[in-house]
């Protein structure tokens, strides 16, 4: 069970690392963003696993359905990336 959990965390980290748009090509998700959005990625887009491209597309398209914590952290990380 622990190995499965680690594998799922690694898969989610890959998905979240690809959330950036072309305008934010240098965007790197923070640990806080990965933590805040992990359950949302599985709940909203888990059916697309193991395709990281499809999970990424799904999560971005369903960001309005994500938890308040995930949306807030995503917006914070994107603003930080825009300043760089």
**pLDDT digit string (tens) for 38-50?**
899 899 999 988 8
Structurally, how many domains does the chain consist of? 1
Positive or negative torsion for Cα 16, 76, 71, 33: positive
**Which residues are within 8 A (CB) of 69 and not within 5 positions of it... i.e. 6 or more apart?**
36
What distances in angstroms separate CA 32 from CA 54, 65, 82, 83, one per listed residue? 22, 19, 17, 18
Q: 57: domain range?
A: 2-83
Q: Indicate the pTM of the whole model.
A: 0.64
What distances in angstroms separate CA 10 from CA 1, 15, 55, 76, one per listed residue? 14, 9, 13, 22
For residue range 39-78, list pLDDT tens digits in order: 998 999 999 888 877 877 788 899 999 999 999 998 998 8
């Amino acid at each position: 069970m622990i190995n499965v959990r680690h594998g799922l965390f690694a898969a989610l980290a890959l998905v979240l690392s690809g959330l950036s748009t072309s305008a934010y090509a240098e965007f790197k998700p923070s640990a806080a963003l990965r933590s805040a959005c992990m359950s949302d990625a599985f709940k909203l887009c888990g059916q697309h696993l193991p395709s990281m491209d499809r999970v990424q597309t799904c999560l971005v398209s369903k960001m309005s359905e994500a938890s308040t914590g995930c949306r807030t952290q995503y917006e914070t990380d994107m603003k930080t990336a825009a300043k760089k």
